């Protein structure tokens, strides 16, 4: 189930950083906003789980929009640092608000998240994401990554589309946050700190930037690996985070483009069927 949640986080960050090319170091923050909002709505207002989940995600998307407006005018490293700053601000707000329970966090959340709900969420997220990426909107995201100036010359309002990517990514992350809260039944601000953001980024980079299948694979591997190493032997268990680190270092040296960069399931589908489709259209056009 944790794998599923991490998959949602990885594919949503991949939308922002991989497809649209905007490096964000504060993705876990949106997860946190989703988790806290959903939890508070469920605990204080007794809103049903699904509704709370959606409200949490929508709130995260709203914050994505609010944060996106000023920061997405920045580029590359500057944007990364700005999102980092935003993450710290949110963490501190959560630590100091009364309603969020401060550093104690929120406890007593009912356990509702189960494997079916997670599976359904993962499928819905990936399905809708694929639809978006194959549409005019998704193509605009990729165009912005490829060349912002040219994208603007093609009539794409780059700032708006970057904000849109940010908000959609935040929405999905908010869903992941809600699922997380109702799975572990306890949340505190440190669940959604800088380290979590980096962990999500590692999944995306390991799997291959700009590739949904890659993000899924990256999330799966980086979720299972520490647990797997823990179970092998006590010695390895002790050093499992070292292995984790070594894996990342080796990966970046041997295959910096990520596990799946060009060769993925998406790619198979779009290349084989896509080419046939294009050929057909070409023949039709040629006649």
Pick the closer one to another protein by CB: 93 or 272. Answer: 272
DSSP-derived letter for residue 104 is G
Pick the closer one to another protein by CB: 95 or 142. Answer: 142
Partners of 187 in the β-ladder: 106
Per CB under 8 A, 168 contacts another protein? yes
> What are the angstrom distances between the C-alpha of 143 and each of 22, 95, 115, 140, 278?
12, 39, 36, 5, 20
Per CB under 8 A, 52 contacts another protein? no
Using the Cα atoms of residue 108, residue 114, residue 120 and residue 123 in order, give the sign of their dihedral. positive
| CA atoms of 81 and 70, how far apart (whole Å) | 13
Least separation in angstroms between residue 244's CB and another protein is: 30
Pick the closer one to another protein by CB: 127 or 239. Answer: 127
Per CB under 8 A, 279 contacts another protein? yes
Per CB under 8 A, 128 contacts another protein? yes
What do you get for the CA distance between the two ends of the chain, in Å? 53
Per CB under 8 A, 266 contacts another protein? no
Residues 188-217 within binding reach of another protein (CB under 8 A): 210
Q: Are 49 and 175 in contact (CB under 8 A)?
A: no
Binding residue (CB under 8 A) for another protein from 154, 241, 252, 268 = 154
Pick the closer one to another protein by CB: 17 or 113. Answer: 17
Per CB under 8 A, 281 contacts another protein? yes
| CA atoms of 254 and 210, how far apart (whole Å) | 19
Binding residue (CB under 8 A) for another protein from 77, 108, 111, 149 = 149
What is the phi-psi region of residue 76: left when phi exceeds 0, alpha when psi lies from -120 to 50, beta otherwise? left
DSSP-derived letter for residue 154 is T
Binding residue (CB under 8 A) for another protein from 46, 98, 111, 136 = 136
| CA atoms of 221 and 87, how far apart (whole Å) | 25
Q: Are 176 and 9 in contact (CB under 8 A)?
A: yes
Among the candidate windows 76-84, 90-98, 134-142, 185-193, which touches another protein by CB under 8 A?
Answer: 134-142
Per CB under 8 A, 131 contacts another protein? yes
Least separation in angstroms between residue 210's CB and another protein is: 8
DSSP-derived letter for residue 109 is -
Per CB under 8 A, 82 contacts another protein? no
Least separation in angstroms between residue 154's CB and another protein is: 5
Among the candidate windows 37-45, 78-86, 153-161, 178-186, which touches another protein by CB under 8 A?
Answer: 153-161
Q: Are 60 and 16 in contact (CB under 8 A)?
A: no
């Amino acid at each position: 189930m944790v794998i599923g949640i991490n998959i949602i986080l990885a594919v949503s960050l991949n939308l922002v950083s991989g497809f649209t090319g905007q490096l964000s170091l504060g993705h876990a923050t949106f997860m946190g906003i989703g988790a806290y909002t959903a939890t508070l709505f469920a605990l204080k207002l007794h809103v049903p789980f699904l509704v709370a989940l959606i409200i949490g995600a929508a709130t995260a998307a709203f914050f994505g929009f609010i944060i996106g407006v000023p920061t997405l005018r920045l580029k590359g490293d500057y944007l990364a640092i700005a999102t980092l700053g935003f993450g710290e601000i949110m963490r501190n707000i959560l630590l100091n608000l009364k309603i969020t329970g401060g550093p104690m966090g929120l406890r007593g959340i009912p356990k509702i998240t189960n494997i079916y709900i997670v599976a359904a969420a993962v499928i819905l997220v990936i399905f809708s994401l694929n639809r978006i990426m194959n549409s005019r909107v998704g193509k605009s995201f990729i165009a912005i990554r490829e060349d912002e100036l040219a994208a603007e010359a093609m009539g794409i309002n780059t700032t708006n589309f970057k904000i849109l990517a940010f908000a959609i990514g935040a929405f999905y992350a908010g869903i992941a946050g809600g699922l997380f809260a109702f799975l572990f039944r306890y949340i505190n601000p440190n669940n959604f700190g800088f380290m979590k953001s980096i962990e999500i980024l590692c999944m995306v980079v390991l799997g291959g930037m700009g590739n949904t299948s890659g993000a899924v694979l990256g999330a799966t591997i980086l979720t299972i690996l520490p647990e797997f190493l823990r179970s092998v032997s006590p010695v390895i268990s002790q050093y499992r985070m070292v292995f984790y680190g070594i894996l990342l270092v080796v990966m970046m040296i041997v295959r910096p483009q990520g596990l799946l960069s060009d060769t993925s399931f998406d790619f198979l589908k779009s290349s084989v069927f896509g080419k046939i489709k294009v050929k057909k259209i070409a023949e039709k056009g040629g006649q």
